Homo-oligomer: A and B are copies of this chain.
Amino acid sequence: MYEQAIVIRNDLKMGKGKMAAQACHASIQAYLHAQKISPSAVMYWMNEGQKKVVLKVNSEKELLEIFRDVNIDGLPCSLIRDAGKTQIEPGSLTAVGIGPEKEDKISKVTKNLKLL
């Protein structure tokens, strides 16, 4: 099975609508990256129903560690920096998107994270 994981900072004071918007940024950007570097994974994921998993971290440090690890493993990914016009500090890092890629490749990096 293929999946896309979205990792969101839960320590920022974002409302659920703001969080959803950050998740969408991360999702689309990681999707576009995957289209470039692993189009067959995108195709399988689409055919399987586009599984998405939304996970949380509690600091910028944790978010960046995840982003570092997915890059080390060469996974398609995105790192979202919010313009910060509403609710949070301008330039805050808010979310990471990973995949679509094989579930086991993604969970190797995300296995210690909890669902949002």
Contacts and interface: CB of A to CB of B under 8 A. Distances in A.
A30 to B, nearest CB: 10
Contacts of A6: 20-21, 24
Interface stretch (A46-54, A60-68, A69-77, A103-111): A46-54
Given A27-B27, A27-B28, A28-B28, A20 B116 contact: yes
A12 interface: no
Interface in A28-59: 28, 31, 49-50, 52-56
- Copies of this subunit: 2
Contact of A21 (B28, B53, B56): B53
A56 B17 CA distance: 9
Contact of A24 (B15, B52, B55, B56): B52
Interface of A: 4, 6, 8, 15-21, 23-25, 27-28, 31, 49-50, 52-56, 83, 115-116
CB-based closest 10 A-B pairs: A17-B116, A24-B27, A20-B23, A17-B54, A16-B16, A20-B54, A21-B52, A20-B20, A21-B54, A24-B52
